[in-house]
Amino acid sequence: MEYFIQQLINGLTLGSIYGLIAIGYTMVYGIIGMINFAHGDIFMLGGFAGLIVYLLIMTVFGGAPIAVALLCMLIVAMAATSLWNWSIERVAYRPLRGSFRLAPLITAIGVSIALSNFIQVTQGPRNKPIPQMVNSVYTIEGISISLKQIVIVIITVALLAAFWYIVEKTPLGRAQRATEQDRKMAALLGIDVDRTISITFVMGAALAAVAGTMFLMYYGVIVFTDGFVPGVKAFTAAVLGGIGSLPGAVIGGLLIGLIESLWSAYFTIAYKDVATFAILAFVLIFKPSGLLGRPEVEKV
């Protein structure tokens, strides 16, 4: 039982990270109907930005309290990654909007290849380990919860609350939802569609950057190929929750995190990625609209 609860906690932590990445996928898919293949690499980029800021603080500025350091890492990583995603959308996706459907998918794959190799070339191909940032562990009735897990869950919840507020309560969120429902009509009603889509990319990237930084903090190591597998898992989460649905993305992320950690705990760790991919295939085949998504109606 204790073992089970332990795995549950580990799964929730992992799931928070996946959920944050999944939101970026689901929002972009909802608004322009495109699978942003490069989103996993945006997440990796965020992790690297966090790493570099951490090293800057530790080596150049001579260290800082851990909370301040973490805050700086998060803010700079969010800013840098948002900038990247904004530029990528501007350069690689926007000119192809309205072109045939495969075109943005191919450029997204190109961006994904280019981004991971850009990091390989500029930062080197090796693993980048950092010392433990937060290492206190609390043990309650035989279940150990580390401080970093608590930090991850708190940051995720806070961000999701802020994010939910933006999407549900602000004019910007309204513009986003309108663009998602009908782009042409939204444009007729005076919404700057291009700007709304750009902001969507920026928001997705900011959340992915937070996920990247927390991934770095949790595992203490990052490498340039780290974008692909978490990216696909987060995409699975988005699909599982119902692509286009924001709460769905979070629930999907948590589910994928739980399934992954429980699978590794009770079955074999070797096939844990197979489990994720199999879930992805099963959901898409049997319930393509996911848990909370609206089924697509085909009009002739």
Partner 1 sequence: MATVTNPSTASTGSLTAKALREATFTAVMTFLMFVLFVGLKTDQNMRNELILVPRWGLLAIFVIIAFVGRFAMVAWLQPWRTARKAAKDAAPAQTTDAGFVKRNFSKLAILALVLYPPIILSLFGAQGSLKYIDNFGIQILIYVMLAWGLNIVVGLAGLLDLGYVAFYAVGAYSYALLSINFGFSFWILLPLAGILSAFWGIILGFPVLRLKGDYLAIVTLAFGEIIRLVLINWQDVTQGTFGISGIPKITLFGIPFDASPHGFAKIFNLPMSSAYYKVFLFYLILLLCLLTAFVTIRLRRLPIGRAWEALREDEIACRSLGINTVTTKLTAFAIGAMFGGFAGSFFAARQGFVSPESFVFLESAVILSIVVLGGMGSLTGIAIAAIAMVGGTELLREMDFLKHIFGPDFTPELYRMLIFGLAMITMMLVRPRGFVGSREPTAFLFERKNVSGSFTKEGHG
Q: Which of 12, 209 has the CB closer to partner 1?
A: 209
Q: Which of 66, 96 has the CB closer to partner 1?
A: 96
Site string for partner 1, 209-238 (x = CB under 8 A): -------------------x---x--x---
- CA distances to 98, 177, 280 from 284, rounded to whole Å, are 26, 24, 6
Applying CB under 8 A, which part among 164-172, 188-196, 208-216, 273-281 lies near partner 1?
273-281
Q: Which of 6, 120 has the CB closer to partner 1?
A: 120
Both tokens assigned to 160: 């999701």
Q: Which of 29, 163 has the CB closer to partner 1?
A: 29
Q: Does residue 21 bind partner 1 (CB under 8 A)? A: no
Q: Does residue 95 bind partner 1 (CB under 8 A)? A: yes
Q: Does residue 76 bind partner 1 (CB under 8 A)? A: yes
Q: Which of 33, 142 has the CB closer to partner 1?
A: 33
| Residue from 223, 224, 256 nearest 239 by CA | 256
Q: Rounded to the nearest 10 degrees, how much is the dihedral formed by the CA atoms of 165, 170, 172, 178?
A: 90
Which residues contact residue 112 at a Cβ distance below 8 angstroms, ignoring those fewer than 6 apart?
Answer: 37, 38, 40, 41, 227, 228
Q: Does residue 62 bind partner 1 (CB under 8 A)? A: no
Q: Site for partner 1 (CB under 8 A): which residue of 130, 178, 262, 291?
A: 130
Site string for partner 1, 238-257 (x = CB under 8 A): -x------------------
Element (H, E) at 220: none
Which residues contact residue 66 at a Cβ distance below 8 angstroms, ignoring those fewer than 6 apart?
Answer: 133, 134
Q: Does residue 264 bind partner 1 (CB under 8 A)? A: no
Label residues 144-175 b or e (16+ Cβ within 10 Å = b). ebbebbebbbebbeebbeebeeebeeeeebeb
| Residue from 262, 270, 209 nearest 48 by CA | 209
199 touches 176 (CB < 8 A): yes
Q: How far is the CB of 247 from partner 1 (least distance, A)?
A: 21
Distance, in Å, from the CA atom of 118 to the CA atom of 283, rounded to the nearest integer, reads 34
Residues 181-210 that bind partner 1 (CB under 8 A): none
Q: Does residue 135 bind partner 1 (CB under 8 A)? A: no
Number of residues forming the site for partner 1 (CB under 8 A):
66
- CA distances to 102, 105, 107, 153, 199 from 93, rounded to whole Å, are 12, 9, 7, 33, 14
Label residues 254-271 b or e (16+ Cβ within 10 Å = b). bbbbbbbbbbbbeeeeee
Residues 158-177 that bind partner 1 (CB under 8 A): none
Applying CB under 8 A, which part among 15-23, 121-129, 197-205, 245-253 lies near partner 1?
121-129
- CA distances to 32, 89, 98, 207, 300 from 194, rounded to whole Å, are 11, 10, 12, 20, 28
Applying CB under 8 A, which part among 31-39, 138-146, 150-158, 160-168 lies near partner 1?
31-39
Q: How far is the CB of 236 from partner 1 (least distance, A)?
A: 8
| List of residues contacting partner 1 (CB under 8 A) | 33-35, 45, 48-49, 51-53, 55-56, 59-60, 76, 80, 83-84, 87, 91-92, 95-96, 99-103, 105-107, 109-115, 117-124, 126, 128-130, 228, 232, 235, 239, 270-271, 273-274, 277-278, 280-281, 284-285, 288, 298, 300
